[in-house]
């Protein structure tokens, strides 16, 4: 017999918020990059649903509401672009070159790995938008004939991995510029990377937020044209 509270969207929202807040608490207490709040919340939600036998469809009634808010959040990315337009305008050429290079590297990496491991075109088209924010990535995946569910999983994995390894990568390559750090985080690891960039500093967070919107726009423009060409020659 179905428990009434499971039919309430508040259940999915409350579970998501509780698991994420526990992830934030664990991350602050351990100060370990591996304990990313999003990663922790995903693992906890999966374990909770498996242990209780609660169907995913019941949880998703609230989860879909959170997912719906990603659209307005994406539009709100115009705010950091406006607030930091002077910095962006001052370094517009290197910023655009960096973001375009990051978008091309992401697409090329997917295609090369697809060729090496013999991945079919459906998976390649689904993973091509892996480095941009979810609403834009899902829309682009659908236009390419990909599977949105695979796209979401690839985007989440990319963001979490980027947030975990980015500080170490920047230390290894001795990247000192706060603007460069932020642009790299936003371009490679979208919103999850931006959350880490905000921890690194105000400039890094602002540039990362701006890079999310710019990289999403650039990816939407170049991928539909370059993907068929890359697939033909690789």
The token duo for 39 is: 């990663």
Q: How many CB atoms lie within 10 A of CB 34?
A: 11
Is pLDDT of 2 > 60? no
d(CA 227, CA 6): 43
- How sure is the predictor about 18, in pLDDT bands with cuts at 50, 70 and 90? very high
d(CA 186, CA 97): 14
User: Which range marks the domain in which residue 186 is found?
Assistant: 77-233
Whose CA is closest to 141, among 171, 107, 118?
A: 107
Residue 120's H or E segment, with its range, is none
Looking at the structure, tell me whether residues 60 and 101 fall in a common domain: no
Looking at the structure, tell me whether residues 29 and 142 fall in a common domain: no
Specify whether the CB–CB gap between 11 and 5 falls below 8 A: yes
Looking at the structure, tell me whether residues 95 and 193 fall in a common domain: yes
Report the first-to-last Cα separation within the chain, whole angstroms. 54
pLDDT score of 1:
43
Count: domains in the chain? 2
Is pLDDT of 182 > 80? yes
pLDDT score of 147:
92
């Amino acid at each position: 017999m179905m428990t009434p509270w499971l039919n309430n969207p508040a259940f999915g929202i409350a579970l998501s918020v509780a698991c994420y807040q526990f992830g934030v608490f664990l991350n602050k207490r351990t100060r370990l990059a591996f304990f990313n709040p999003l990663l922790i919340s995903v693992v906890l939600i999966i374990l909770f649903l498996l242990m209780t036998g609660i169907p995913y469809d019941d949880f998703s009634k609230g989860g879909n509401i959170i997912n719906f808010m990603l659209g307005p959040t994406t539009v709100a990315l115009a705010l950091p672009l406006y607030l930091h337009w002077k910095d962006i305008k001052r370094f517009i050429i290197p910023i655009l070159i960096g973001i375009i290079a990051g978008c091309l590297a992401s697409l090329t990496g997917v295609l090369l790995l697809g060729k090496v491991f013999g991945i079919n075109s459906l998976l390649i088209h689904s993973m091509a938008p892996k480095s941009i924010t979810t609403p834009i990535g899902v829309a682009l995946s659908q236009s390419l004939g990909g599977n949105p569910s695979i796209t979401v999983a690839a985007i989440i994995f990319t963001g979490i991995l980027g947030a975990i390894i980015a500080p170490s990568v920047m230390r290894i390559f001795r990247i000192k510029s706060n603007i460069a750090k932020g642009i790299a985080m936003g371009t490679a690891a979208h919103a999850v990377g931006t959350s880490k960039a905000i921890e690194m500093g105000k400039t890094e967070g602002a540039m990362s937020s701006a890079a999310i919107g710019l990289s999403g726009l650039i990816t939407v423009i170049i991928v539909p044209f370059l993907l068929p060409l890359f697939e033909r020659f690789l």
